[in-house]
Amino acid sequence: MNKIKITAFACRPDEAPSFERLEKELHVEVTHVQGSLSLATVDAAKGSDGVTFLGNCDMSAPVLERLAAMGIKYAASRSAGYNNVDIDAAKRLGIHVSNARYSPDCVADFSLMLALMVNRRVMVALRRNVCNDYSFPGIMGQEMKNMTVGVMGTGRIGKSVVRDYSGFGCRILAYDIYQDDEVKRHATYVDMDTLLQESDIISLHMPLNEQTQHIINAQSIAKMKDGVKIINAARGELIDTDALIAALKSRKVGGAGLDVVEGELGIYHTDRRLLGVDNDRIAILKALDNVVMTGHMAFYTDQAVDDMVYCGLNSLVQFVNTGTADCEVTR
């Protein structure tokens, strides 16, 4: 039996142990490409049965057309988000696309950590400590049990976030077009306006699409409580960054914990010490004392990385053998 041939783009060193183990377990032959998938690198996939890639890869129509011209019908993302893929073009070209499903606890844990850091003014305290300032003014926080937390999006990650917050004894509101019975054990589903108006902390766990892009904007922020905290470890484009910056400066928004931000592609996951960061919004957010920022790392645990590599490879095996995959994107 011939091995399924796969070209893996944007391979990171931390993925290597998982690739090595899974290539044997799944009986596949993988060509590793460190560079991202793009028009400049796509020809490396010649002769493959399918490709696997990450969220920083270019899966626009021209790249997909080139894959189709090479006879490649299957593409598996090792990331959960697939907004970098032109799904309409893929369907037109007959290319099946899948995304990754990994342990939801990695992002859930991180989101809760961001909320705690913002809520207890940890970054302000740490900056003061550098110059031996251990004073109290300006760093008073709030206790979670006295707060209302609104979770927007209750899929696998959002459901885990609701579960985690329930341990603090706080009131939890949830919003999703699809309601989940397990979530109802800990949270109350409400309409979006109610969640915006009554939440002290709002945590975003929605996919990015035409309906959710800039779902947090000047109009939605105006409906929120004064001093609300906003947590985003999903996709940067869920938030209108200019509106958020204005609200943070005015203190309408009391704080933000941001693992993702608009315009991060090409900046996050790279070493920019000598290159600088050509993104004014990121620079402004980093300078604000009521913001905690990290570089799109909420997913980054040993378990999640292994899950992502498995999904990428196993989906391609399923595609080749059956024409479909458990994680296929079907919208």
Residues with catalytic annotation?
235, 264, 296
* Token pair listed for 243: 């509106």
143-146 contacts, C-beta under 8 A, 24 or more apart: 144/116, 144/119, 144/168, 144/169, 144/170, 145/169, 145/170, 146/170
* Token pair listed for 7: 């070209």
What are the beta bridge partners of residue 64? none
The enclosing H or E element of 14 equals: none
**Rounded to 5 degrees, what are φ and ψ at 205?**
-145, 45
Residue 178 to residue 128: CA distance in whole angstroms:
44
What are the beta bridge partners of residue 216? 239
DSSP 149-175: EEEE--SHHHHHHHHHHHTTT-EEEEE
Residue 196 to residue 151: CA distance in whole angstroms:
10
